[in-house]
Amino acid sequence: MKIIITGMLCILSMAAMADDFIEGKKTVNPGSIETYTVNWPSWSNTYEFYANVTWNVSSGTVLSSDKHSITIQWDDVPRWLNGEGIIEVYEDLGAQTGYASITIFNFSVGTIQTCSGILGSAGIFVDFGAGPNPGPPLPAGNTTYPYSASCSLQPGLYTRTNSTVGCNALWLGLPEDHTPGDVNGYMLLVDGDDAGQIVYRTTVNGLVQAFGYEFSVYVANLSNPSFNFQKPKLQFEVYDMSNNLLGQSGYIEVEYVPANPWQKMSFMFDLPTGTTSVQVVLRNDHNSPYGNDFVVDDLSFAPCFPPIVASFASNSIVQKSYACNNGSVNLYSWWPTQSMPFPNPAFKWQRSVNNGVSWADIPGANAMNAAYTENTAGIYQYRVYAYSSTNPSLYVISNVLTHFVQKMVVAPKTYNIFSCNSVSIELSPDYYLQYADPYGPALTYTYNWSPATYLNNPAVEKPKITLPYLNPPSINSPAPPPPVVYTYNLTIQNTNFTGCVGAGIQTVKHFNPRKVAVPTAFTPGAATNSLFRPINLQDYPGGEFWVWTRWGNLIFHSTGPTLLDYSWNGTYPNGQGADPDTYVWRVNIPGCPNNILNGAGNNNPYGYVLLIR
């Protein structure tokens, strides 16, 4: 609401919650860049120019923002996880707040994930053995289900058997296990109960770098859901050797398919760097003793590779390379398995400069290994294209390698400092490592400001500068003295990578402005005093001037830079002459908020003016 008090303007606003005022994509992919807008319901032009807006974001990096919008790059999360981001926004004039919850979406619960390339040699392959019935119990620690020597199970028990025929009249009778060519091969038979338990758990050692690991198992549902039997609901889990959870699938229901009972279920997992051993777990999470009867066989944990592997290293998988300004790279490739997809292969390396949108052959790079030099900064990608020399329509493409040729950029910058502000001022440079890897290591820098004149520390990012005192000029001086200029060369080096050094001129202008005087009345069109303006505001680069009606409607705003630009001629924005009345004004004097004389006899940067006709 607005309350009018004679001779004064007072604007009050009830706090407004804006939970649904933030608009934009609420389900995003990891690493994606999205823009969101907030539509303030109670804003007028007054709020637009006067309110301060604060954004807070979790699980994302703010790339830019203003009073109405924000652009965010959402965090990357491991492939087996979904993430949650939060956007909060607040404006301090009307006390309005906005809130939005964002889902960083990686996988669907219940979705089977399969290696889309070539599986390497399995770290483990468990076929549960072979022999006469009943099979022996599993070693201690492999399962949390108690063992039964009979395949006619009660809920909560397991056994090893080479056939389910005759085990239970209501079950699907499987005459053999899944393993091809396995004579009297065992499968693990489980009758689930109302306690979720571990079906199988084991340790995998000797793991290698890959493009993901496929954790898979073949499962058959024995109970027909038409008789109100519950379907098994399985989950894959991966733990480190200290029992910390590294990866977890969604819950996967096992369908009842008598014509084709064995179904492969799998989960793709990214192995953390340096990890060579993990614990893998197959868990039953249905928690029902009604149905929930199944067999599992041929459990595997195997590395997944593209059909041909590309790398920046000859003996390991390295998919990223870093350089500064320019750089050469060696490109290697090999077949992930002993068998090749076609005889007599030929090769060509390709290069992309637009994030893989288009690819061009690298001249002369026609072997499994090659080298290439980038002469300018940028982000470049490479891949190897292998094809049959006798039938070029047969081909495979490797994984993509990314070469970050970075450049240290230090932007020239001018700092305006005013003598009326005697405190030390912090210099805050603008710089960045261009073409850096957004998911690379945390970046560190060294700094050198030269010369060190008036700086408290020339070796820090944001030194404080304390300039000598200047005698203030008279308010009636015809012009202010020119600014005193100090020039610094700022050199910044990124210490993560060799050669990433940049420099930029930092200019400090020390202004000695006159005080600002604001009249209390004016008469548009008169021979004198026909314009309303804060005298001497042009001495302050970045100064601003506003005029409102007593009802809070903004009718004039200027950022200068000349005194004429700061002058209001007594008309509304549509050109119509303003009525005789009292109007509200405000000035922003950078660095010198008290360097003002107004008609009220104080140094407040706001007040009232009477328009007389």
CATH number at residue 588: 2.60.40
Domain limits for position 577: 516-611
Are 369 and 433 within one domain?
no
Whole-Å CA distances, 226 to 7, 170, 221, 233: 82, 11, 13, 17
Per-residue pLDDT, averaged over 284-297, amounts to: 90
Per-residue pLDDT, averaged over 260-267, amounts to: 94
CA distance linking residue 215 with residue 200, whole number of Å: 12
Pairing of strands 96-104, 16-18: parallel
Are 578 and 435 within one domain?
no
Are 149 and 253 within one domain?
yes
Query: Does the pLDDT of residue 113 top 60, yes or no?
Result: yes
Tell which of 406, 425, 450 closes a domain. 406
Per-residue pLDDT, averaged over 446-473, amounts to: 95
348-400 tens-digit pLDDT: 999 999 988 899 999 999 999 999 999 999 999 999 999 999 988 888 999 99
Are 287 and 335 within one domain?
no
Tell which of 381, 406, 431 closes a domain. 406
Query: Does the pLDDT of residue 286 top 60, yes or no?
Result: yes
Asked whether the beta carbons of 199 and 234 are under 8 A apart, the reply is yes
Give the least confident one: 19-28, 82-91, 203-212, 427-436. Answer: 19-28
Predicted local distance difference test score (pLDDT) of residue 28: 83
SS (H, E, C) 380-418: EEEEEEEEECCCCCCEEECCCEEEEEEEEEECCEEEEEE
Beta bridge mates, 503: 491
Is 502 inside a domain boundary?
yes
Predicted local distance difference test score (pLDDT) of residue 110: 46
Asked whether the beta carbons of 97 and 110 are under 8 A apart, the reply is no
For residue 423, give every residue at least 6 positions away whose Cβ sits within 8 Å of its Cβ, in sequence order, or none: none
Predicted local distance difference test score (pLDDT) of residue 178: 96
Task: Compare 486 and 100 and report the one with higher pLDDT.
Answer: 486
Query: Does the pLDDT of residue 170 top 50, yes or no?
Result: yes
Which DSSP string do the residues of 227-290 spell out, in sequence order?
GTPBPPEEEEEEE-TT--EEEE---EE----TTS--EEEEEEEPPPTT---EEEEEEE----SS
CA distance linking residue 308 with residue 497, whole number of Å: 30
Whole-Å CA distances, 318 to 146, 328, 439: 45, 15, 15
Are 236 and 358 within one domain?
no
Are 147 and 296 within one domain?
yes
Per-residue pLDDT, averaged over 481-494, amounts to: 96
Tell which of 464, 480, 511 closes a domain. 511
For residue 144, give every residue at least 6 positions away whose Cβ sits within 8 Å of its Cβ, in sequence order, or none: 197, 198
Is 60 inside a domain boundary?
yes
Is 113 inside a domain boundary?
no
Are 266 and 125 within one domain?
yes
Whole-Å CA distances, 87 to 32, 71, 119, 155, 243: 15, 11, 41, 48, 34
Whole-model pTM: value is 0.63
Q: Name the residue among 199, 221, 204 with its Cα closest to residue 138.
A: 199
Query: Does the pLDDT of residue 518 top 60, yes or no?
Result: yes
Tokens of 243: 């029992």
Is 110 inside a domain boundary?
no
Per-residue pLDDT, averaged over 252-265, amounts to: 93
Query: Does the pLDDT of residue 111 top 70, yes or no?
Result: no
Q: Residue 182 is part of a domain; what is its CATH number?
A: 2.60.120.260
Could you give the number of structural domains in the chain? 5
Is 400 inside a domain boundary?
yes
Predicted local distance difference test score (pLDDT) of residue 136: 97
Is 450 inside a domain boundary?
yes
Is 109 inside a domain boundary?
no
Per-residue pLDDT, averaged over 79-94, amounts to: 76
Are 275 and 170 within one domain?
yes
Per-residue pLDDT, averaged over 86-98, amounts to: 86
Are 268 and 206 within one domain?
yes
Give the least confident one: 36-45, 66-75, 400-409, 509-518. Answer: 36-45
Predicted local distance difference test score (pLDDT) of residue 33: 87
Per-residue pLDDT, averaged over 599-605, amounts to: 79
296-340 tens-digit pLDDT: 999 999 998 888 999 999 988 999 999 999 999 999 999 988 878
Are 24 and 165 within one domain?
no
Is 202 inside a domain boundary?
yes
Q: Residue 44 is part of a domain; what is its CATH number?
A: 2.60.40.10
For residue 401, give every residue at least 6 positions away whose Cβ sits within 8 Å of its Cβ, in sequence order, or none: 310, 311, 312, 319, 320, 321, 329, 331, 381, 382, 383
Q: Name the residue among 532, 542, 535, 539 with its Cα closest to residue 585.
A: 532
Plot region of 460 (φ>0 → left; ψ -120 to 50 → alpha; else → beta)? beta
Q: Hey, what amino acid is at 42?
A: S
Are 151 and 202 within one domain?
yes
User: Which residue has tokens 């050198």?
Assistant: 448
Asked whether the beta carbons of 239 and 279 are under 8 A apart, the reply is yes
The radius of gyration computed from the CA coordinates of the chain, to the nearest angstrom, equals 36
What integer best gives the mean pLDDT of the chain? 89
Predicted local distance difference test score (pLDDT) of residue 82: 60
Are 155 and 277 within one domain?
yes
Predicted local distance difference test score (pLDDT) of residue 31: 81
Query: Does the pLDDT of residue 106 top 60, yes or no?
Result: no
